[in-house]
Amino acid sequence: MRISAQTLFAVFLLLVMSILFKGTADAQTPISPTPTPLVATTDQSSNGNNFIQMNTDSNVPQNRDSYTQVLLINTTAAFMCQLAGVDPINPQQPCLGVDPTTGKIGMIPSQSASGASQSQIGGAVGLMSGYISALYILQLLLANILIIYLVILVLLSMLMRQMEQVIYVLQYHLAMDFVDWLLYLIYGQA
């Protein structure tokens, strides 16, 4: 019994459709799960609204509009902190990041070369500037190595020319001495 490719494709399509478009029947009542809050909330205020305590001035109203704006400002500040490594809301406070020693999220102080904690470019901008400088340092090192290699080649070629001249002079003197010796043997005098 052979099954055609069209039949296999139709069965596969039927399975995918049944998984993607799964619905409830009329006889079933949908169950709505109670969401678990991701952030701890404060007690309900006097007007019945339940908000997270915002770090705002006392004249800022505690409503959804203010909460949305505070959330947007904090999200933008967090993005800038990850990008530049400096928190725009509080520049003295380090950004959050993964601590390489513990593997947990924590405050990551930016360290300078002397070891003192001070404000310097970090985050993605600092990382990329480090990568770019490493590329130029590598090129400078390769250029220095290439220059040294070329100088050694030039010195060796000069040495080889000198050796050729020395060998030529030695050959000339040996040939002349040989000719003198032959003349001495033949004529008895040089």
Are 113 and 76 within one domain?
yes
Name the burial class of residue 83, with classes exposed (0-12), middle (13-18) and buried (19+) by CB atoms within 10 angstroms of its CB. middle
* Residue 59, in any domain of the structure: yes
CB 97 within 8 A of CB 106: yes
Whether 46 and 80 map to the same domain: the answer is yes
Domain boundary among 120, 153, 173: 120
The mean pLDDT value of the chain amounts to 75
Q: What is the pLDDT of residues 30-69, one digit of tens each?
A: 555 555 554 545 544 455 555 567 778 888 888 888 888 8
Q: What is the pLDDT of residue 7?
A: 85
pTM score above 0.85: no
Q: CB–CB of 107/67 below 8 Å?
A: no
Of the candidates 66, 93, 120, which is a domain's last residue? 120
Count structural domains, the chain. 2
Owning domain of residue 102? 38-120
Residues of the chain below pLDDT 70: 1, 22-52, 109-121, 138, 189-190
Same domain, 42 and 108: yes
Same domain, 141 and 188: yes
Task: Judge whether 80 lies within some domain.
Answer: yes
Same domain as 76, residue 48:
yes
Residue 10 lies in a domain: no
